[in-house]
Amino acid sequence: MKVTIFGAGYVGLSFAACLAEAGHEVLCADADPARIEGLQGGRMPLHEPGLEALVASGVAAGALRFTADERAACEHGELLFIVVNTPADAQGRVDLRHVIAVAAAIGRHRDRDALVVCKSTAPVGTAAQVEAVLGGELAQRGARHRIAVAVNPEFLREGSAVRDCRRPDRVVIGSEDPWAIGLLTRLYAPFIQDPQRQLLVMDRRSAELAKYAANAMLATRISFMNEMARVAEQAGADIEAVRRGIGADRRIGPDFLQAGVGYGGSCLAKDVRALTHAAERAGHALRILSAVAATNHEQKGRLFELMSRHFGGTLAGRTIAVWGLAFKADTDDMRDAPSLVLLERLWAAGARVRAYDPAAMPNARGIVGERDDIRWCTTAQEALQGADALAVVTEWEEFRRPDFAQLAGELNAPPTIFDGRNLYDAAQAESAGIAYYGIGRGRSS
């Protein structure tokens, strides 16, 4: 099938490459000409495992092309996906300007029937708004062809975007139009093993809300576990044991129960804010989600609190090694990363930082800028040299099994680890003479 993807970001690019791999003819458009020029020249704008090779093979096979030409993009696909950014401000008001810009462009340029699919995460009613904008443009030029609008939210995670795209748990189709449902069912056929179970067809408004509800539920699980981690600390229990104890219950399940430095990234916090704002405008206060957001805000300061307590309330003149800057492993994405909160607090307290991340350092440097109180290190080991303590902020694979004896030797005495991801066994670290702090590990913190 001929498909256009508007937006070559984390989602758009991953989705485009997977559709091309599955045999569709994909044209991926972006409003940022530099991004398109880079992609046309074989340069990736972002880090996502497996994506570079997939893009390269899609391009080589002629199944994946890139364009900055809006008209060409509108003319190409019988399915036109809107996968642009939908930021929310501090109050949770969602900025739909990019979505609307794409809708207007399609209304202006598309000369044949098409299905427009809203994949960007956007508030309930956005598909209707897209339809109105399209309708307005078509009416203005007296066009008579048919452009339907469906909703198809995306549930992939950064760091595993390719895997999630190839094998989604489920595909939600928000449409009551048999033609649109048929097209999307055909498009997704290569990715779905059990259509009866995995293809979930519903009205557009429910599909829009299902996306927000999913992210809100995931955020709730994380904040719940971060609260439980505080209880575990007070009770002398270990949250990791508690996690196993509840995750084995099939009604609860083992995923998304990891206590840590708080959730970051471009979506969980944004979508919780947006859902809370929309519900409040409709007269309903979402008390649970307000608490989820407040807990997460506090949690991002937790590692700093542990450090401050350990160093007797003063970090001035201390040097802290920071392993991991990205908001999660396997990505270079720094949007809303908990590491940024830690860095700011450390600097405000007069500490210096030696930072290392396998992928996110260029983005982190772009955000933080050049300053004297951070040293950008090229290896994890270099970050340790002469530091008073190590803070582990992102759960990259390469941080998981350090040589504790060597680590103790690199850090200033007495060596200390603040493990924001509970990667380590406290007893193992302590047997190398390292003071160990985890999150919710009352038996060791």
Instruction: Mark the binding-site residues, compressed into ranges.
Output: 30, 35, 86, 121, 155-158, 211, 256-260, 264, 270, 328, 335
Cβ atoms 10, 86 nearer than 8 A: no
Determine if 328 is a binding residue for ligand UGA (CB under 6 A): yes
Quick check: bond before 338 cis, omega within 30?
Answer: no
Q: Which residues contact 105 (CB under 8 A, 6 or more apart)?
A: 70, 71, 73, 74
263 binds ligand UGA (CB under 6 A): yes
Could you say which of 86, 120, 220, 258 contacts ligand UGA (CB under 6 A)? 258
Q: Is 215 in the site for ligand UGA (CB under 6 A)?
A: yes
Stretch of residues binding ligand NAD (CB under 6 A), selected from 81-89, 107-115, 184-192, 288-296: 81-89
| 398 contacts ligand NAD (rule: CB under 6 A) | no
Laid out side by side, the sheet with 147-151 consists of: 64-67, 25-29, 2-6, 79-82, 114-118, 147-151, 171-174, 199-202
Answer for which of 98, 230, 345, 441 binds ligand NAD (CB under 6 A) is: 98
Non-local CB neighbours of 397 within 8 Å, separated by 6+ positions: 329
Q: Which does 295 bind (CB under 5 to 8 A by kind): ligand NAD, ligand UGA, none?
A: none
Note whether 323 and 392 are within 8 A (CB). Answer: yes
Which residue, 127 or 222, has its beta carbon nearer to ligand UGA?
222
Residue pair 345/261 in contact (Cβ under 8 Å)? The answer is: no
Q: Which residues sit in the known binding site for substrate?
A: 155-158, 211, 256-260, 264, 328
Rounded Cα distance between 137 and 151, Å, is 20
User: In 10 A of CB 381, how many CB atoms?
Assistant: 15
The partner in contact with residue 9, picked from ligand NAD, ligand UGA, none with C-beta cut-offs of 5 to 8 angstroms by kind, is ligand NAD
Contact 25, 64 (CB under 8 A): no
- Using CB atoms, what's the residue nearest to ligand UGA? 267
Site for ligand NAD in 246-305 (CB under 6 A): 266-267
Catalytic residue list contains 267: yes
Give the span between the Cα atoms of 20 and 8, in whole angstroms. Answer: 14
Q: Write down the catalytic residue from 18, 118, 267, 377.
A: 267
**Binding site for NAD(+): what residues are annotated?**
30, 35, 86, 121, 158, 270, 335
Q: Give the separation between CA 56 and CA 308, rounded to whole angstroms.
A: 47
Q: Which residues bind ligand NAD (CB under 6 A)?
A: 6-12, 29-32, 35, 83-86, 98, 101-102, 120-121, 154, 156-158, 266-267
Residues catalogued as catalytic: 267
Binding residues for ligand UGA, rule: CB under 6 A, are 121, 154-158, 215, 218, 222, 256-258, 260, 263-268, 327-328
